Structure 1
Amino acid sequence: MKGRQEGVALITVLLVMSLALLLVSSLLRSHRLAVQSSAQLLHRLQLQQSGLSAETLALQFLQNAQWRDSKSVNLGQEWARLGTTFELDGATARIDIEDLAGRFNFNQLLKPGQVDQITLGRWAQLLQVLNLKAPDLTRLRPPYNAGLLSDISELRLVPGIDAQWLSRIRPWIALLPADATLNVNTASTTLLSTLEGMTPAAARALVAQRPLAGFSSVQAFTQAPVIEGLGVASHGLGLTGRWFRVTVQIEIGQRRLRLISDFERNRHNGRLQLLQRRFVPAYEKEISL
């Protein structure tokens, strides 16, 4: 009887020890996960802080008084040549600035009333160049939307538009006021190839021969020797823009992050106003979080 009691006591002690070991192991695992989570949070905060520092540096270029009051926004200006990699507070940073007026303004398709045929033609040509199916945008027109789009992801409201379609169209469109014009001094070959009578070869030649300081007037653009006679309309074209996208690539060791910030320059005092700011993984392309 005594031996049996001692055996039961021993088993009880072993069970208690096993439970204690399991509890300690669970606590250690939770502690390790908490430490890892805290480290990841600190790393992300460090990346974000470095990104904001780089963004501040980019704004100094955009605020440069030597060109901000110019009647032209062009690729010969300092902001357009900023794209480079440098060290910043222990991080490797790359800053790129883009004139969003060099993109197709999607909100032109949503303004009240009848959309003009020239704008519709350029939109159709852009879709053709990108090999994308034309969506039915009628459900995004008033009164279905409360106004113009503020985020491209709202296009998911249109049946047939999926993530792949959005990924293809994102780099080429912007959401600007409906009266914003396409800046021919910063527009890419792809956007210029959507203009009336323009061929891809003519667009490439035009970009190659475009003056570094940009065209002096829209008329000088439409009468450029390489496209003269093609019938490019001056409607919706301009030489400047007030909207800029700052893209910052930050790398610290093996960790990477991208900061995408959109700014609008006040037409009266020249100050830059933040429109939106997004931190995204380095491998994603303009996808809002």
Structure 2
Amino acid sequence: MSAATRHRGARGREGIVLVMVLFFVLLLTASIATFLRRVAMDAGIASHRDRARQAEAVARGGIRLGEVLLLEDLRNKGAAPGPDSQHDVWALVRGLDLDDDPDVELRLEIEDAAARVNLNGFLKEGAVDENGRLYLEQLFAGVVAIMPGRPEENAYDPAELALRLADWIDADDVGIDGAPEDEPYARREPPSFPQNRPLLSVDELRLVEGFDGRLVEALRPFVGVYPLVGGGGINVNTAPPWVLMQLLRGTDVSGQRPLEEDDVKRIVEAREESLLCAGETQAPGCMPLAELLEGEQLAPTPAERSSVFVVRAIARVVDVERRIEAVVDRSDPAEPKRLSWRVE
């Protein structure tokens, strides 16, 4: 073998070795990059998990703070409290960041349950009377009228909806129209039946014949279910304008008619300056509601004091957010009760 041939063979072997070295270098580099990515991903997951736990802990603390504010409100009002209003200590924290840590944010929203129409409030002695059904019919008709969508998509029958809801929550198993209440439910797959008890949540409306998801979501800003028993009136000091629009005004002589926008505007402006009273409570500087309505009364009869509140705590730790919603009953200040608890 000549020297030239041996030289070419050596160069060829060196080239193969170089290729193999480059291959293993690239393989090692790719392995290291994959490992680093997995380490970074695992670290990110662990960091997100820790932040989520911290956010939930902060939100739980926010719920407890909300309960303390509700009890402090009772203590401030003393033995002769006035109406619950947007001037109370529990209402003034809305929109404030309650944590001074720059990486942590805590906000509270406390809502008076009487700021919405209580669907269970129409249940009296195990039944919904005709006046209650007529009011529900008007409420449903008003909400359907403002729902987005084509007319054929909103082809709900408000009278039928009121009837079905009354049958769902009343105590008997015979429909108001005389037919068995469970007839439409027995045809479902799987079959179901009316609960014949107060609604436990607004979402339960989805189970009532005639209601669907679109309608329930449209009703949600207007209605609630607390207190489950014994409540009913809307607090004009805390209700938003769109709920106030669902009230009726009038007398036994003039009859009842819906509030107009000007009526609602007067109520909203007046409650910014002072408390509004309908006769249930007395407080210094309280303006009688009848003065704003030319002596007429509201229906359903307004509520002024509430025992049930919805407390929402929104906590954010860096980029992770947790929300907790609790329904709190403060009727017994020595032992407030949580009626529901939901973590989002």
Matches within 5 A, 1:15-34: 30-34=38-42
> Which amino acid in the other structure matches residue 41 of structure 1?
R
Aligned to 1:264: 329
Q: Contact (CA 8 Å) 2:116, 2:239: kept in 1 or not?
A: yes
The alignment status of 1:147 with 2:158, answered yes or no, reads: no
Please point out which of 245, 252, 256 is paired with 1:193. Answer: 245
Quote the Cα distance in structure 2 between the aligned partners of 1:178 and 1:126.
20
Aligned to 1:120: 133
**Higher deviation after alignment, 240-249 or 103-112:** 103-112
The alignment status of 1:225 with 2:301, answered yes or no, reads: no
The TM-score with structure 1 as length reference comes to 0.74
Quote the Cα distance in structure 1 between the aligned partners of 2:88 and 2:297.
29
Matches within 5 A, 1:75-94: 75=85, 76-88=87-99, 90=101, 91-94=104-107
* Structure 1 runs not aligned, ≥5 long: 1-10, 280-288
Q: Contact (CA 8 Å) 1:58, 1:246: kept in 2 or not?
A: yes
Change (3 A) 1:97 1:48: same
Once the two structures are superposed, what CA deviation does each residue of 1:216-274 show, in whole Å capped at 9, x if it has no partner?
A: 61599886233235553464x32211001122233333443433221011x34453211
**Higher deviation after alignment, 142-151 or 237-246:** 142-151
Q: Contact (CA 8 Å) 1:245, 1:261: kept in 2 or not?
A: yes
Aligned to 1:107: 120
Matches within 5 A, 1:228-239: 228=294, 230=296, 232-233=298-299, 235=301, 237-239=302-304
TM-fit CA distance, 1:165:
3.0
The alignment status of 1:182 with 2:243, answered yes or no, reads: no
> Which amino acid in the other structure matches residue 208 of structure 1?
E
Change (3 A) 1:151 1:69: farther
Give the length in aligned residue pairs: 276
Once the two structures are superposed, what CA deviation does each residue of 1:89-133 show, in whole Å capped at 9, x if it has no partner?
A: 622222222111221112235677542333334333433443255
Change (3 A) 1:183 1:21: same
Q: Contact (CA 8 Å) 1:218, 1:234: kept in 2 or not?
A: no
Q: Contact (CA 8 Å) 2:107, 2:313: kept in 1 or not?
A: yes
The alignment status of 1:161 with 2:225, answered yes or no, reads: no
TM-fit CA distance, 1:12:
11
Secondary structure (helix, strand or coil) at the match of 1:203 reads helix
Quote the Cα distance in structure 2 between the aligned partners of 1:27 and 1:72.
65
Quote the Cα distance in structure 2 between the aligned partners of 1:249 and 1:268.
26
TM-fit CA distance, 1:152:
2.1
- RMSD of Structure 2 on Structure 1 (CA): 3.9
* Structure 2 runs not aligned, ≥5 long: 1-18, 148-153, 170-192, 249-256
The alignment status of 1:203 with 2:264, answered yes or no, reads: yes
**Higher deviation after alignment, 206-215 or 129-138:** 129-138
- Percent identity of equivalent pairs: 19
> Which amino acid in the other structure matches residue 227 of structure 1?
L
Quote the Cα distance in structure 1 between the aligned partners of 2:338 and 2:324.
13
Change (3 A) 1:234 1:19: closer
Please point out which of 253, 256, 262 is paired with 2:318. Answer: 253
**Higher deviation after alignment, 87-96 or 238-247:** 87-96
Q: Contact (CA 8 Å) 2:276, 2:289: kept in 1 or not?
A: no
The TM-score with structure 2 as length reference comes to 0.64
> Which amino acid in the other structure matches residue 217 of structure 1?
G
Aligned to 1:67: 77
> Which amino acid in the other structure matches residue 73 of structure 1?
P
Aligned to 2:15: none
Once the two structures are superposed, what CA deviation does each residue of 1:47-74 show, in whole Å capped at 9, x if it has no partner?
A: 1122222222222211111226544432
Q: Contact (CA 8 Å) 1:74, 1:214: kept in 2 or not?
A: no
**Higher deviation after alignment, 16-25 or 215-224:** 16-25
